[in-house]
Amino acid sequence: MLSGVLLVLLSFLLVEVVLEAWVQTLFSTTTVDVATNRTIEDLPAWPKQIKNAVYLILLATTALVVLISNRWRDFTTKADIAVLVLGVVLALAGLTNGSDLSLTAQAGYVYLRGVIVFYAWRAARPDKKQIRWVLTPVAVLVVLNAVIALLQFLFGMNAYLILGWNNMTWANINRAHALMDHPNHLGHFLTIALMGLLCWFVVKERIGWKWWLAFGFLALAMSASQSRESALGFLGAAIVIAFIRRGRYAVIASATAMVLVFSVGQVAISDENRAELERRLGGVLSALWLPSGAEDDDFCVETNEGCDKDKGIPEREVRVLYAQQGLKLFVKRPVLGYGIGQFGGIAAYTADPKWYADTRFGPEGFQLYGSNEKQVDSFWLHLLVETGLLGVLAYLTWIFFLAWPLLRNAWGDRRELWKQDRAGPTTLWGIAVIVFGGLVAVLSPSLEDPVFPALFFTVVGIAWVMLSRVATPVAAVVETTEPADEPTARRTDEEK
């Protein structure tokens, strides 16, 4: 019964994280700041409060299931030990660098809340039918978001307004975000679904044209978000799957080509997308030519109104400027960083909206260069500055042990070639999502944002569950020389 409760909560949580931003917008109130004549959107807090309550109920129910079923030994793997070590390192980084107990707990929760989903899946240990039941609402949302994304791309501003969106930042540059508040969130969501289809394709003997049509439809919708990190992340994951699978290269190449062609095609046919990409690439080159700290104190950006041409400098990409500043900060405190909840994360912003003014980050604090984002875009940069090298190594070690059982099952022993067919689509999907998550975290705060962790650890959790249900040893797969009517040849799957 409790396992059933876990599955209901997991299904609800996955729907909630996808719809949370849209629900907040629907119930928001807007006011106009008279001084600046800017519209301020006041978002309700209760959707996030519901989500946090579900996380905590999941955690308590998971612990209860493990306690009642006496399965605690199932949770003593190397990955479980590694996440405990990571938690200790995060706590040390916070408590030794000025973060009080409350801030350390809040920041640690943001870093690791997705892990609750991973343990809930392992505690529930559902079968294939139950997994389909949990993921059915999510599949509906995948299709719905894909349809809306294409409508937003085709019809522009009106397709955003009709859904109640007030912020037209992304509509103005023709980047679809459907029912999510950021195009990258939509890109991550649809790309995870695309990778699931690809991993199913590579283990299936024949793929019908309808499935290829469905894949193309999702790839086209993903390209409407113009989430470049999602397209590159898919490419990286596809290369890893091709290397592990050791076959079906034509299928993998066809799927990858479809994703990349659609993504490039969106840029080619959209003036707004093309102008935005040119601006961003130019900003990267400008930031490398004139790095953070090299400008004069009274500089201004050339594209800003009223900027003196003699003092104007080219517009620069803030991600590069942040990385340049962050690496300088890391050199000063390389071991345990500046403490969790202190730099560039949502916990730091909640505790102090002006976290960047801390003089430990420089004489004038950490320079945002006009960005109005609440946190630093790169997860890995955020982790490096807050926890130092020790924190990054602990996190990477944990991710490695999450992937290792899946890799070992998928790759097998090269001397026993039949092992390459053992890996099912969920095992490959888990590997692909881990690779994808690590890559997109370079350019986004994905591994700690409100949406991605629940999706990420759902796929990894399902992969672990299905791997634990493989009861047939490899030796039993090999045909025996005994007659077919012998009892040893007629063992049921349960006996095996």
pLDDT digits (tens, 9 = 90+) for 407-417: 988 876 444 44
pLDDT at 457: 97
More confidently predicted of 193 and 419 = 193
pLDDT at 301: 76
Q: How many residues does the chain have?
A: 496
Question: Any idea which of 153-162, 194-203, 251-260, 276-285 has the lowest mean pLDDT?
Answer: 276-285
Question: Any idea which of 69-78, 115-124, 183-192, 468-477 has the lowest mean pLDDT?
Answer: 468-477
Indicate the average pLDDT of the chain: 87
Residue 463 makes CB contacts below 8 A (sequence gap 6+) with 406, 426, 427, 429, 430, 431
More confidently predicted of 422 and 340 = 340
Burial of 206 (0-12, 13-18, 19+ CB in 10 A): exposed
Q: Under a CB-based contact definition with an 8 Å cutoff, are residues 420 and 246 in contact?
A: yes
Average of per-residue pLDDT across 293-320 = 75
Rounded to an integer, what distance in angstroms lies between the CA atom of residue 23 and that of residue 165? 10
**Which pLDDT band holds residue 472 (cuts at 50, 70, 90)?**
very low
Provide the CB-side half-sphere exposure for 432 (13 A, CA): 33
**Nearest partner of 20 among 453, 378, 351, 382, judged by Cα:** 453
More confidently predicted of 83 and 71 = 83
**Nearest partner of 450 among 21, 137, 136, judged by Cα:** 21
Reading phi first (left if > 0) and then psi (alpha if -120 to 50, else beta), residue 495 is in alpha
**Which pLDDT band holds residue 189 (cuts at 50, 70, 90)?**
very high
Distance of CA 190 to the CA centre of its chain: 11
Q: How many CB atoms lie within 10 A of CB 278?
A: 11
**Which pLDDT band holds residue 328 (cuts at 50, 70, 90)?**
very high
- Most confident range, picked from 226-235, 275-284, 292-301: 226-235
Rounded to an integer, what distance in angstroms lies between the CA atom of residue 195 and that of residue 219? 10
pLDDT at 476: 36
Average of per-residue pLDDT across 396-400 = 97
Average of per-residue pLDDT across 324-328 = 93
Cut 0.75: pTM above it: yes
pLDDT for 419 beyond 50: no
Q: Is the dihedral of CA 406, 409, 410, 412 positive or negative?
A: positive
Domain ranges of the chain: 78-113+123-268+377-471, 270-316
Provide the CB-side half-sphere exposure for 268 (13 A, CA): 6
Locate 209 and state its tokens.
Answer: 């044209």
Q: How many CB atoms lie within 10 A of CB 231?
A: 22
pLDDT for 447 beyond 80: yes
Residue 64 makes CB contacts below 8 A (sequence gap 6+) with 2
Residue 20 makes CB contacts below 8 A (sequence gap 6+) with 47, 48, 51, 450, 451
Q: What is the largest CA-CA distance in the chain?
A: 91
pLDDT for 479 beyond 60: no
Residue 303 per-residue DSSP state = T
**Which pLDDT band holds residue 473 (cuts at 50, 70, 90)?**
very low
pLDDT at 364: 85
pLDDT at 489: 41
pLDDT for 490 beyond 90: no
Rounded to an integer, what distance in angstroms lies between the CA atom of residue 201 and that of residue 211? 9
